[in-house]
């Protein structure tokens, strides 16, 4: 893509499901007129239970199809699991700016008072060497506790489908951090899955007022704005399009649940 993309060239947000909407929401505040394509890989959901090899092959191939189809000016991998496993593969495969999503361990380490940080993500994310590296680089003198919770991904998807959130899933995730050695002194939790901010009210209530929740969405939005500064945008905002890979397991969410994020139509690919 050339240095000056057309004004109607969209931003492409990609996730396994609906979690990336939490990143899209922050980006829309900074770039309200940006055309949006939101792509959810429902055929591959949940990513947290897939192998590294599978995701390293699937994500670049699928994004290649999406880039060819929609010609975005920039791609946002709004998924911690896909980013920590496949980001380098995607950047090698595609000739378009790529913004990834990584756990917000650096700001958590800077803000923690007790020196005990929780990282709540998918099982695939919390076991990645990338998380080891971030912890060693930014929280070497602090205690970093990790817990993988596939149940929270299910709960977040259910919430945007208009279904009740399972309290047991919330409590299990909280206990997964609290019951580790040092968990009593936890004062900040990194939501290392873009699905999890959708459950921030429920998680905050369960952790209590002494624990702060943090995620990387604000930083990602600022990065998108920086990489697109000086580019042309449409004069007026328009509704975004959500596209889903076809799945026999996962049904599409109601469109009304996507409208608050600026999405006004859906498609299946």
Average confidence (pLDDT) over 59-88: 97
Q: Are strands 98-99 and 74-77 parallel, antiparallel or unpaired?
A: parallel
Give yes or no for residue 1 having a pLDDT over 80: no
Give yes or no for residue 231 having a pLDDT over 60: yes
The dihedral sign for the CA sequence 242, 6, 64, 123: negative
Tell me the CATH number of domain 105-215, given options 3.40.980.10, 3.60.150.10, 3.50.50.60, 3.40.50.1860.
Answer: 3.40.50.1860
pLDDT tens for 89-114 read 999 999 999 999 989 999 999 999 99
Of residues 234, 163, 227, 237, the one with CA closest to residue 3: 227
Distance CA 136, CA 203 (A): 27
Strands of the 143-148 sheet, one edge to the other? 143-148, 116-121, 188-192, 212-214
Helices 21-30 and 217-227: crossing angle in degrees, nearest 10, is: 50
Phi, psi of 234 (to 5 degrees): -55, 155
Give yes or no for residue 2 having a pLDDT over 60: no
Give yes or no for residue 250 having a pLDDT over 50: yes
Q: Are strands 11-15 and 74-77 parallel, antiparallel or unpaired?
A: parallel
Q: Are strands 116-121 and 188-192 parallel, antiparallel or unpaired?
A: parallel
Mean of all residue pLDDT scores within the chain: 95
pLDDT tens for 152-209 read 999 999 999 999 999 999 999 999 999 999 999 999 999 999 999 999 999 999 999 9
Give yes or no for residue 61 having a pLDDT over 90: yes
- Which pLDDT score is estimated for 3? 66
- Which pLDDT score is estimated for 188? 98
1-5, 6-10, 122-126, 257-261: which has the minimum mean pLDDT? 1-5
pLDDT tens for 27-37 read 999 999 999 99
pLDDT tens for 128-158 read 999 999 999 999 999 999 999 999 999 999 9
* Percent above pLDDT 70 for the chain: 99
The two tokens of residue 224 are 């998108």
> Is 11-101+218-268 assigned to CATH 3.40.50.1860?
yes
Burial class (CB in 10 A: 0-12, 13-18, 19+), 195: buried
Residues involved in catalysis: 79, 193
Contact 13, 36 (CB under 8 A): yes
Distance CA 49, CA 153 (A): 11
Give yes or no for residue 245 having a pLDDT over 50: yes
SS3 state at 244: strand
Distance CA 33, CA 125 (A): 32
**Within 10 A of 65 (CB to CB), how many other CB atoms are there?**
12
Of residues 47, 84, 80, 49, the one with CA closest to residue 62: 47
pLDDT tens for 74-89 read 999 999 999 999 999 9
CATH 3.40.50.1860 occupies which residues in the chain? 11-101+218-268, 105-215
* Percent above pLDDT 90 for the chain: 94
DSSP secondary structure letter of residue 240: E
Contact 79, 15 (CB under 8 A): yes
């Amino acid at each position: 893509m050339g240095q000056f993309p057309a004004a109607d060239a969209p931003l492409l947000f990609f996730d396994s499901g609906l979690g990336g909407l939490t990143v899209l929401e922050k980006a829309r505040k900074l770039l309200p007129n940006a055309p949006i394509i939101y792509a959810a890989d429902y055929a591959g959901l949940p990513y947290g239970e897939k192998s590294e090899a599978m995701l390293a092959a699937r994500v670049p191939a699928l994004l290649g199809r999406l880039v060819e189809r929609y010609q975005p000016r920039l791609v946002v991998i709004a998924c911690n699991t896909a980013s920590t496993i496949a980001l380098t593969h995607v950047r090698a495969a595609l000739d378009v700016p790529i913004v990834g999503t990584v756990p917000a361990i650096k700001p958590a380490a800077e803000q923690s008072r007790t020196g005990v940080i929780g990282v709540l993500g998918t099982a695939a994310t919390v076991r990645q060497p990338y998380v080891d590296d971030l912890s060693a680089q930014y929280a070497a003198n602090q205690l970093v506790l990790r817990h993988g919770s596939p149940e929270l991904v299910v709960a977040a998807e259910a919430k945007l489908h208009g279904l009740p959130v399972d309290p047991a899933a919330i409590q299990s995730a909280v206990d997964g951090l609290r019951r580790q050695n040092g968990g009593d002194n936890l004062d900040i939790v990194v939501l290392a899955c873009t699905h999890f901010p959708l459950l921030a009210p429920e998680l905050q209530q369960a952790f209590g007022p002494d624990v702060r929740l943090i995620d990387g969405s604000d930083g990602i939005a600022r990065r998108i704005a920086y990489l697109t500064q000086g580019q042309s945008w449409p004069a007026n905002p328009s509704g975004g399009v959500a596209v889903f890979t076809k799945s026999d397991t996962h049904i599409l969410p109601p469109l009304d649940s996507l409208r608050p994020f600026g999405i006004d139509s859906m498609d299946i690919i």
